[in-house]
Structure 1
C-alpha cells in the first residue's frame, strides 16, 4: 500500500511536468480538469520520503565519519576515504544543500503548508514540525543558514542567511505554530498518507516536544542557564508528552517504499568496501562487551570478532576489507546462504528516537546535581536502545548492572564529568545510524574522546560543513565565506 501511494505521487509529479511543458508549447487556455497541484496526501508522502532519504544519505555519512561511528576505506580518491580524512569540499555540498535540503524536503514541506494552512491545517502542522526538524539539522551542520528569506521560490532566489542562534529562535516558534495547527479543525486529515505516524497527532505532538528538548540540551554547556530553565519547564509536562517509548520513534519505515531499501543499505550495496564501522565505536563497545554488537555489526572475517576500521587509514595503501560491516540494525533482516548474506534493506531511518529522550533527561539531571534521577534516565535509555537492537532481557540486565562500574571508571579518568561522559558515550552508541546528533554531542561536550583521523588534510576534526559552491555562485552576496572547518560556527559550540 505504501509503495502504491509513493508511485502514485511520482505519477502525479510526472503529469504536472508534462502539463507545464504542454502549456508552454501550445499557449492555450488551461483546461478546468487539469491537475495544477499535487494533492496534499501525495505531497506529504513525497516530503516524508525526501526527509527519510536526506537523513540516511550524505549528511549521515559526513557526520558519522567525523564522529567516528564509521570509517572510509577503498584507496586514494575514493569518496568516503577522502571524507574520512576531512577532505570535504564545497563541491561535495551541492547535492545535499540544493537538491536534498532546500530543493527537496524543505520545498515539499513549504508547498504543503501553503496549500493546506487554511482548509486542512493538520497537514500544515505536521509539515511545520518536520520543517523545524530539517532546519535544525541544517543549522547544526552548517551554522548560519537561510530561514526567514528561504522557501519563497521565485519571489526570492537569493535569500539572506540568519545566524544560527536566530535560526533556533525561529525553529522553536515554528514548532509551536505546528502544534497549534494540529489542534485546529481540518477539512482533511492525514491518515495512511502519513508514512511516519499514520496521522496520529498525539505522536506528532510528542515529536514536537522531544525536538524542543533536543534543541534546548544543545545550549549546554555554553548557555547553561537557558538550557536548564527551558528543559525544566518542558519536562514538567510529564513523559507521556514525549518520545519516551520506541513505539513513538520519529523514523522513516522503508518497508514498501523504494524496493524496501533505505538509503544506508542502498549505499552499502552499490558502493561496497567503502563504509565500515569505525574502530572507535567498535572498540568502545568491545571494551564494555556491549550485546548490541550482534545486530549492529557482522563478525570480523579475520578473527571472528568485532573489528572496526581505523579512521583516515582508507586513503593510503591497498584497499582493506577485513573489518566488521554494518548489520541488521541498519540494513534490515538478513538471510545467509552459504557464505553470502543478503538483507531486506527495510530497516527504518531513525531520526529522533526514544533512547535520546532519556539521555537528554540524564544529561539535564547530571548537570543540575540530581545524580539519582540522572542514573535512572541513563538506565532507561540503555534499556530501550538494547530492546530496539533485539538484545535479550537477561543480557540487558547484565549490562545495566555494570553501568555503576562504567560511571566509576569514567569518574576516575574524567573527574566530576564521569557521569556525563557515561551518558554521552551511551547516547553515542544508541544513536548509531542517526545523522548529525552524535557529531553535535561531541562538539559541545567533547565526548566520546576522539583523536583526529590518520592522514588528515586538516589538523583537527571538522566542527562544521563547507557551504555549497553552487550556492556561492547563485547567491554570492549572502553566502558566507568558509575557509576553516575546525572553527566553531554554531552558536552553541564552545570549541575545544
Structure 2
C-alpha cells in the first residue's frame, strides 16, 4: 500500500500527467466546465498557470534566494538557516513539485493549439517560451532533471529519465528558435488570457529571445558549446537583430501585474499578500550587503523623497540607526540587533512590497542590457559596453521609479549617479576582479545586475554561481565550508519512486548534495 501511495504522490509532484488545475487523473473530466463543455481551450490554461508559477517563484525568492544572496537575514540560531548555507533536504520539494505540475498545463496549451481545429501558432510559441523558462529554473536549480520524458504520465511513463543538463540546454535552445519562428506571424490571442502582455504577441517574441540570451550566456564558458553559443549571441545582438527582437525598454519587461489589493482572496492578489501573514512578512532583517550599497550610492530606490509620502520605493523601513542592515552568516550565539526591514501591509504606509503591484517579475529589460554589456566587454559583440552598463542602471531604476533617468544611458541623472557612487565605466579597467576592492568591468556590471534581479526568482543565485559576482561577505557562522550552494538536492520522494533514473543521474552528475556543481558551473 505504501509503495502504491508513493507512486501516486510522485505522479502528482513530478507533474508527469496531471494539470495544476486538476485533482484527478482524467484531464477532460476535471476540466469540464459548468456549462457542459468537455474540452479546455488553450487560452484557459494560461492565466491561472502563470499565477501559480509566479506564486512559487516569488515565495521561494523571498525565503530562499534572498537569504542566500544576503538581501535578507532571517535572524536566529535554529537549524536550517539558509543564510548560513544550512539547507534541509525538504527545501528542495516545493519548487520541484510546483514547476513540474504547472508544466503539464503549459505543455497541454501547446498540444491544444496544435490541433487542426484549434490551430494557433502564437499559443504554441508562448507555450514553448514558458516551457523553456520553467525547465531552465529546474535544471539550474537541480542539474540533470526529467526533460525529454517529463509530463508523460498519461502515456504511462511514471519513471522518466533524468536528461543531462547539456542536452536540456540544447533542447531549450531548439524550443526558443521554434517559438521565435511561430510568433513571427503575430496570430492573435485572447487578450484577457494573457496576464503578462495583455495579448501583445510581439512582446512575447521579445521575451523569448531575451530568455534565449540569458540561457546562452549562462553556458558560454563551457568549452564544448562556447563557440556555437557565442556565435548565436552575436547573431541575436549584432548580425541579425531584425530576426531576433529583444527587450529594449521597460514596456517590454515581462511581469505579472498584481492588483495591489490587501485582500488576500482578491483576483491577482500578490502571493506576498495571499500566502504570507503581515506579521511574518516583516520578520527578516535587511542584509548589510544589500542595503549598504544602496546607501553608499545614494540610490533613488532607497531615498524616501523619490518614493511616496516619504517612504522609499523599495519599501524598506529604517531602524533606530537609520538604513542599517545586519551581517549575514554571523556566528550562532552572537545575533545582531535587527534594524531595517521591509514594511508589510500592516504598517499602513504608502509603499510596501507585500501588496506592491510590480513584484511579479519574470524578466526585465535591465537584465538584457547587462547581458549585452557583458558580451561587449568580452569582445563578443560590437556594442559599446559602457553604454549598455549605464542603460542597465537606468532601466533597473526606472522600473521602480519611471520618472527617474528617463533619458537612459545619456541621462544626466544616471551620469551623476555613477559619479557620486564612484562606479563610472572605464574601458581601461580589467575584465575581472581579484577581490571586492579591485574594480573591473565584470564587477561593475554584476553589482548593478544584482539589484536589477531583485525579486526575480533565483536569478541572483544562478548568476552568482556562474560569475562569482558580486563579492558577498563570508560570515564566520557559515556552513558548507563557506561555499555558496551549487544546487538543491533532489526531492526525497524521487529516490523511492524513480530509483533507477535517480541513481543514473547521481552517477552521472555527482553526489546528491548541495556542493555538487551542475554542468555549466563545472570547470
Shared fold per TM-score greater than 0.5: yes
Deviation of residue 324 (structure 1)?
A: 1.9
Deviation of residue 31 (structure 1)?
A: 12
Query: Which residue does 1:492 correspond to in 2?
Result: 520
SS in 2 for 1:350: strand
Any gaps of 5 or more consecutive residues in structure 2? 1-18, 303-311, 406-411
**Correspondences of 1:379-398 after superposition (within 5 Å):** 379-390=390-401, 392-393=404-405, 395-398=413-416
CA distance 1:370–1:75, shift in 2 (3 Å): same
Tell whether the 8 Å contact from 2:296 to 2:421 is kept in structure 1 after alignment.
no
Tell whether the 8 Å contact from 1:453 to 1:461 is kept in structure 2 after alignment.
no
CA distance 1:272–1:192, shift in 2 (3 Å): closer
CA distance 1:378–1:470, shift in 2 (3 Å): same
Query: Which residue does 1:152 correspond to in 2?
Result: 152
Find runs of 4+ consecutive structure 1 residues off by over 6 angstroms: 13-16, 18-21, 30-33, 331-334, 369-372
Any gaps of 5 or more consecutive residues in structure 1? 1-12, 25-29
1:285 paired with 2:294, answer yes
Deviation of residue 32 (structure 1)?
A: 12
Measure the CA separation in 1 of the matches of 2:375 and 2:129.
24
Tell whether the 8 Å contact from 2:234 to 2:381 is kept in structure 1 after alignment.
no
**Correspondences of 1:440-479 after superposition (within 5 Å):** 440-459=462-481, 460-479=483-502
SS in 1 for 2:501: coil
Query: Which residue does 2:349 correspond to in 1?
Result: 336
Query: Which residue does 1:174 correspond to in 2?
Result: 175
Deviation of residue 228 (structure 1)?
A: 2.5
Deviation string for 1:167-202 (max 9, x for gaps)?
A: 00001111122233334696x723111110112110
Tell whether the 8 Å contact from 2:125 to 2:178 is kept in structure 1 after alignment.
yes
Measure the CA separation in 2 of the matches of 1:123 and 1:189.
7
SS in 2 for 1:477: helix
Q: CA RMSD in A?
A: 3.6
Deviation string for 1:54-97 (max 9, x for gaps)?
A: 221225532332222232224524x6xx1221222332222221
1:126 paired with 2:142, answer no
CA distance 1:16–1:430, shift in 2 (3 Å): closer
Query: Which residue does 2:258 correspond to in 1?
Result: 254
**Correspondences of 1:272-311 after superposition (within 5 Å):** 272-293=281-302, 294-304=312-322, 306-311=323-328
**Correspondences of 1:379-418 after superposition (within 5 Å):** 379-390=390-401, 392-393=404-405, 395-402=413-420, 405-407=423-425, 414=433, 418=440
Deviation string for 1:427-460 (max 9, x for gaps)?
A: 1111111122221221121111124344233211
Measure the CA separation in 1 of the matches of 2:173 and 2:430.
35
Measure the CA separation in 2 of the matches of 1:83 and 1:109.
31
Measure the CA separation in 2 of the matches of 1:19 and 1:483.
31
Question: How many residues get paired?
Answer: 463
Measure the CA separation in 2 of the matches of 1:286 and 1:97.
37
SS in 1 for 2:123: helix
CA distance 1:280–1:222, shift in 2 (3 Å): farther
Tell whether the 8 Å contact from 2:186 to 2:201 is kept in structure 1 after alignment.
no
